[in-house]
Amino acid sequence: MMQEPLFMQPVFQEKIWGGNRLHTVFGFDLPSDKIGEDWAISAHPHGRSVILNGTYQGMTLDQLWAEHKELFGQPSEEVFPLLIKILDAEDDLSVQVHPDDEYGKQHAGELGKTECWYIIDANPGAEIIYGHQAKTKEELTQMIQEGRWDDLLKRVPVKKGDFFFVPSGTIHAIGKGIMILETQQSSDTTYRVYDYDRKDNQGNTRELHIQQSIDVTTVPASTPQLAVKEIRKGNSALTTYLETEFFNVYEWQVKGELTIDAKGPYTLMTVIEGFGYLVVDGKEYELKMGTSCIIPNGIQQWQIKGDVKIIASDTAKK
């Protein structure tokens, strides 16, 4: 049977820090003006992708993972391991940290969360929080208890095209005015360390998870070094941002036509700029901003045509 790419219906998540750039920039019809996240490719129970086309149209990704393992190269993992999001932060996200797999399994009954961010856009002066200054757990605990946030938290200015690796245990926050494409483990476990003492309309603050945050934060903070590799082919470029045990992340910048070979058992892709076509066995599929799909195991080579930028990912095991 001829295999087809699996196109995903976006799942929009309303957030108090969200905005409307998923509409104004990406052209999605949004249910509100406070949409913080598009879960572009997800098998997570908090927002499951539905397949839009082909033989499996109408099925959810978690269903496909359970019932059609051949599409993913007969994986051994129980759950689909990745989650792809586009985030629009109109306001600052809370300062947070995620557990690793061991802590996540034990305390939240799901995977931990290692994640990474491609900065799609950032307003002038936009910053992220990325890491901390504490030398020991005791110091971390004390600084949190005393609310010495300016001493504790490391701020980093960002611009369009930057890339950040955020392993589990890293204290982090996306600042206002930033849009990112996030590639992460399929997990929704977040421990909130600090929320800028913000209150909602009812005067309530959001729940914090101080003890869990202290438990899972890596001390001292490690700043991962990226070994970014770029291969140019004509006017196009293939960039490898990251190769980890959880996922590998690539950028495909296509001007004209580019042939790509599968590196993992299946490949996830999301269009973040421009317009083009994905060509599989001579059949063309339209790619516009926000289009997401999985290229299943049976497709080993494909072409991208047009003037288009894509963030793609796969898992380490071939």
So which residues are the catalytic ones? 192
**d(C-alpha 18, C-alpha 132), whole Å:** 25
Sequence-ordered list of residues with C-beta below 8 angstroms from that of 249, at least 6 positions apart, any chain? 116, 118, 163, 183, 240, 241, 242, 311, 312, 313
Is 76 exposed, middle or buried, given 0-12, 13-18 or 19+ CB atoms closer than 10 A?
exposed
**d(C-alpha 85, C-alpha 46), whole Å:** 13
Tokens for 149, please give them: 């946030």
Interstrand relation of 153-157 and 229-233 (parallel, antiparallel or unpaired): unpaired
Contact 122, 164 (CB under 8 A): no
**d(C-alpha 308, C-alpha 41), whole Å:** 19
* Residue 189: its H or E element: none
Tokens for 282, please give them: 């001579």
